Amino acid sequence: MIAGKTEAVEIIEFPLKSSARLNNEDWVRHDEVFAEAKAELMAYFHGDLKSFTFGIAPKGTEFQMAVWAALKTIPYGQTISYGDLARTIGRPRAVRAVGAANGANPLPIILPCHRVIGADGSLTGFGGGLDVKEALLTLEGVLPKPEEAAPPQADLFS
C-alpha cells in the first residue's frame, strides 16, 4: 500500500502488515504521484528499473533520516552490513540504533533496507518478512534464482 499527505509518497507498506501509520484518516491519495510510484515499482519488479525517481517524503528523527538517506546510496544488486551502514553515517558504534532505524523505514524497496544484511552475510529482519527480503535480493541478482520459483501473486497496490 502506498500513502501520502503531500505530493510525494510518505509510506509504503506490505499488504499483510498492520500499521497505525496507514490508519490515519487525513492522508490523501494524489493519483498522479500514485500512478508514477506504481509504474516505477512495477518496472522494478519486472527487472526493468534499478533506481526510483518519484517524490518521497519520509518522516523520522534526524538519526533515522540519516540512516534512510544512506540506504538510498546502496547500489542495486549489492548489500552492506549494519556495521557498514553505521560507518557510512559516521556512527560506527551505533549498529543497533542503525538496525532500529532500518526497521522503522517507511519506504521499503525505495529506501532499500532489504540490501542490509548481517555481518556474516545472513539475511536478518525485514518488515515484509525474510521470504520477501530473499525474493528482492534474488530479483536484484544478489542471491541465485531458484530453479522453479513462481512469481509473486500478491496485489501490491490494493
DSSP letters, 100-143, are: HHHHT-SSTTTS-GGGEE-TTS-----TT-HHHHHHHHHHTTSS
Triad 110, 114, 117: Cα angle to 5°: 145
Grid cell locating 139: 530479483
Residues 9, 111, 113, 135: which is the catalytic one?
A: 113
Q: Is 113 noted as a catalytic residue in this protein? A: yes
Each as own residue / partner, the long-range contacts of residues 15-18 (CB below 8 Å, 24 or more positions apart, any chain) are 15/154, 15/155, 15/156, 15/158, 17/127, 17/128
CA 130, CA 11: separation in Å to the nearest integer? 20
The residues that are catalytic are 113
